Chain A
């Protein structure tokens, strides 16, 4: 008798394992899992989600992650086929190719893309199908301290030569004259505009070319500027390290993505009055005036979503014109055309920022990194060259050899992934 009881007990314990799936299925409120980035627009969405929940009855489980961790989490979950993500913020230039290649985005046949610039949708398109809704655009700008410029009697630089001169004059009294990302892989995007303005490119027709004389000249300039006038520890600094330094009043000029203006002048975080912060276009170089202007963030839906309807509803809401306008009013540059034309936006947005956007939209280059599947590794390889340039203040004698070595390595990656040459 005891034996039978034991067997029954074990069997019943085991059964409950299978029963769980069946018991959970019927009539539950719809629930979706959404991954957002620690990005001003992600913050805006997070704050607005309760409104979405109230109006639709769909429960939204939100997770916010730093951008590289977001890519890692998505990739790991998708690659191991264990993902329960429904909607997510995504970086078209960083992971778009990889995700499309592996079939991880759901095709967005029903989405209305008419309000977006064609080029920004095309980055996330394959075989005629669009996979990514463009969300936020960004371009490179120069943030500067108007008060320090006035004190030094300087005018706002319009060429890279003037930028260097201003950096020299402004570096004093514990204030660094110039900052820009120096942390290897993270610096790759911000160095790109300098590269373009000296007449170089990362990839030309899917072949790595960042060892040309023009590229080396750009590397030496960037290295000299950051090595000489940058804050201490610049080779470990990305935007999240540079912003507090700028906000603490220890940095006079900073080139980075346009998206940070709202945060820089946030009175709860900065010691610098908003009136003293200026924003202007990245100065022109000897061979060009093409700051990057890219779709930095988009939104996608998982191909494996179990709640496609609710997910689509969320996607439509999160990329709606109303929220885009809300974003614009907090100085987040959105991809939607109509958001830029809105009257309240034109009145409420920083006019200097609007001017830089107009300049970048006219002259800019649509990529800020090598556009390839193995972009993570390629960025580390390019980052090594940038760090060498900074550490030697641009004077390294082995810079050319190092750049050529890394060009070959990036070309190997392109070949391995079947993306080398052509097109």
Chain B
């Protein structure tokens, strides 16, 4: 039987219990299970039960040239997208941070790419990008410029995907920075005005330093997401042409759901997990230094 006062005495454990169970079941278990599979040789094509093989999957994956290529590509994609998105997003936020007619309409339009579903975005952009019947090459030909292969050529596929990512996610950075701008105190600006600072000086010496923590937060959020990008790339190129747009997440997907090699796929995912973790820790350190 439950002792009297048991609930009252243990309320602080009982109330968080559902949340704890949720976290264990839905977050810790999948990660732990993936880690376990990464130490096995589980493949469906062999029809054999799985066997624990230690670090063998990791060693095989490290020797796979596609893995290193995908790792480099993941970083290149993230770097290109996040740098462009932070610059554009901050600029848009600064422009929007004043009163003008139609501001709300503009903000609404900015939100649209954020709420569109990635697969639909991928399909529409693929139509734009189609080298033979697509809109962009038509525009290029009208302007008398040479046509591009866009997502169908190895050399241009990654930048083309970065453009789609920029189109979709710049508004998010803009909105975060805009919120940061709204929270800035007006005092430094008043004193700068008294001292006769130009608007460029105000921007460089007051606004941007004060905004740095906000912008860095936006970058962290965006970069973590960009490192894991899957939907747009899969919807548009499935990692092609050849392997030219294969990022770590796409590679892991192919190893698990096309090759049914779950051991090695899990090893790739554990690598990706650490890449994201180390990156986030690094940027958080940087943010601390800014705050000091």
A-side interface residues toward B, CB under 8 Å?
A: 3, 6-7, 68, 72, 75-76, 79, 98, 101-102, 176, 183-184, 231-237, 241, 244-245, 248, 250, 373-374, 376-377, 380, 383-384, 387, 391, 413, 416-418
Note all chain B residues with C-beta closer than 8 A to A417: 43, 45-47
Which one of A79, A245, A376, A387 contacts B132 once the chains associate, using CB atoms below 8 Å?
A245
Assess the B240–A235 pair: CB atoms within 8 A: yes
Question: Could you show 6 A-B contacts with beta carbons less than 8 Å apart?
Answer: A7-B2, A176-B132, A184-B242, A233-B149, A373-B47, A377-B261
**Which residue in chain B gives the minimum CB-CB distance to A372?**
B45
Q: How far, in Å, is A395 (CB) from chain B's closest CB?
A: 17
Which one of B47, B147, B149, B150 contacts A101 once the chains associate, using CB atoms below 8 Å?
B47
B-side interface residues toward A, CB under 8 Å?
A: 2, 4, 7, 43-47, 130-133, 147, 149-154, 237, 240-243, 254, 257-261
Q: A374-B259, A377-B261 are in contact. Are A236 and B240 (CB under 8 A)?
A: yes
Note all chain A residues with C-beta closer than 8 A to B241: 183-184, 233, 235-236, 387
Taken together as a complex, chains A and B put the C-alpha atoms of A404 and B110 apart, in Å, by 52
Assess the B44–A237 pair: CB atoms within 8 A: no
Other than the known A98-B45, A241-B130, A248-B132, what 11 A-B pairs have Cβ atoms closer than 8 Å? A6-B7, A75-B260, A79-B260, A102-B44, A176-B132, A231-B131, A236-B152, A376-B258, A376-B259, A380-B258, A380-B259
**Which residue in chain B gives the minimum CB-CB distance to A182?**
B241
Note all chain A residues with C-beta closer than 8 A to B151: 233, 236
Note all chain B residues with C-beta closer than 8 A to A418: 46
Note all chain A residues with C-beta closer than 8 A to B147: 232
Q: A245-B133, A416-B46 are in contact. Are A75 and B2 (CB under 8 A)?
A: no
Note all chain B residues with C-beta closer than 8 A to A374: 45, 259-260
Q: A236-B241, A248-B133 are in contact. Are A68 and B258 (CB under 8 A)?
A: yes
Note all chain B residues with C-beta closer than 8 A to A176: 132
Taken together as a complex, chains A and B put the C-alpha atoms of A235 and B152 apart, in Å, by 7
Taken together as a complex, chains A and B put the C-alpha atoms of A7 and B2 apart, in Å, by 10
Note all chain B residues with C-beta closer than 8 A to A377: 258-259, 261
Taken together as a complex, chains A and B put the C-alpha atoms of A377 and B45 apart, in Å, by 10
Assess the A232–B131 pair: CB atoms within 8 A: yes
Taken together as a complex, chains A and B put the C-alpha atoms of A376 and B240 apart, in Å, by 15
Assess the A387–B131 pair: CB atoms within 8 A: no
Which one of B7, B133, B240 contacts A183 once the chains associate, using CB atoms below 8 Å?
B240
Q: How far, in Å, is A79 (CB) from chain B's closest CB?
A: 5
Assess the B46–A250 pair: CB atoms within 8 A: no
Q: A231-B131, A233-B152 are in contact. Are A98 and B44 (CB under 8 A)?
A: yes
**Which residue in chain A gives the minimum CB-CB distance to B126?**
A241
Taken together as a complex, chains A and B put the C-alpha atoms of A98 and B261 apart, in Å, by 13
